[in-house]
Amino acid sequence: MVYDPKKHNRRSIRLKGHDYASPGLYFLTFCVQNRECRFGEIKNGKMIFNTAGRFVDKWWKKIPEKFPNSRLDVYQVMPNHFHAIVEITDPDKTVEVDPPVNRGKGGSQDRGGYADPPQPDSSQSGPSQPDSAQSDSSQPAINPENEGADPRISPERNERLKPDFEPRQASIPKIVQWLKTMTTNEYIKGVKKDQFPPFDRRLWQRNYYDHIIRDKGSLERIRYYIIQNPSQWQEDQNNPGNV
């Protein structure tokens, strides 16, 4: 199954009875509220990040620091949505997954991003703390029961959500929620500095799409889809020009 925004943008499609903290590979897609292009633009079939796009890329690559039993695969920040494959591993076992062809470092703006391979003893070392951790420590906490939803408020109300840097066991809702929280906080800071236009209530749509990857063939097809996403922007249903 490949992401179809007509079917998957607006409703919950969590698989009933599935434990989204269980080891496995997951394909994730989540979109900006109202499909507004806030993270950059596509030029000549390549994604060109603006400042907001760069920090979405930055916070995604920090996911394994926050969730040590997660590993990142191919991902792509698009102007108004985000595609990624993430693996949840058994903390007590090593799970081998064939890397994509020509796997490189994260942040490529033409062929999708690739996570850096995990270091040998990374699970035993504490995550590095971003400099913003201290300055945001007085912010109110988020509701951990929100299953990946993003009930953000507009920047004009000058409210914040507390960044949580304590390492935790991975689950898909927690990964999505944490990325949304960190990127929304940073976006709000940019609004206050007149770097970005304000948003209405939330930066990201409340829901997100996930697909459990069950075999190598599906994995390779989804990797290809993510990598090729910028070159298909003119036909993308998330492109505001295609409404």
- As a whole number, mean pLDDT of residues 45-71 equals 96
User: How many C-beta atoms surround the C-beta of residue 212 within 10 A?
Assistant: 15
pLDDT in tens, 154-178: 444 434 445 567 888 999 999 999 9
Burial 216-227 (b: 16+ CB within 10 A, else e): eebbeebbebbb
136 or 73, greater pLDDT? 73
pLDDT in tens, 113-127: 544 433 333 323 222
H-type alpha helices, 3-116? 5-8, 51-61, 63-66
148 or 171, greater pLDDT? 171
In the chain the first and final C-alpha atoms are separated, in Å, by: 23
Q: What is the pLDDT of residue 18?
A: 80
Q: What is the pLDDT of residue 73?
A: 97
User: How many C-beta atoms surround the C-beta of residue 131 within 10 A?
Assistant: 6
Q: What is the pLDDT of residue 126?
A: 27
Q: What is the pLDDT of residue 133?
A: 29
| Total length of the chain | 243
pLDDT in tens, 74-126: 999 999 999 999 999 986 654 456 666 554 333 444 435 544 433 333 323 22
d(CA 166, CA 70): 14
d(CA 31, CA 53): 13
Instruction: Identify whether the C-beta of residue 191 lies closer than 8 Å to the C-beta of residue 38.
Output: no
| Boundaries of every domain in the chain | 19-94+104-114+132-236
5 or 174, greater pLDDT? 174
Instruction: Identify whether the C-beta of residue 110 lies closer than 8 Å to the C-beta of residue 47.
Output: yes
Is the pLDDT reported for residue 134 higher than 80?
A: no
Triad 189, 146, 141: Cα angle to 5°: 45
- List the strands of the sheet with 70-77, edge to edge: 70-77, 81-88, 24-31, 209-213
- Say whether domain 19-94+104-114+132-236 belongs to CATH 3.40.462.20: no
The helix or strand, by DSSP H or E, that contains position 41, with its residue range, turns out to be strand 40-43
Q: Indicate the pLDDT class of residue 64, thresholds 50, 70 and 90.
A: very high
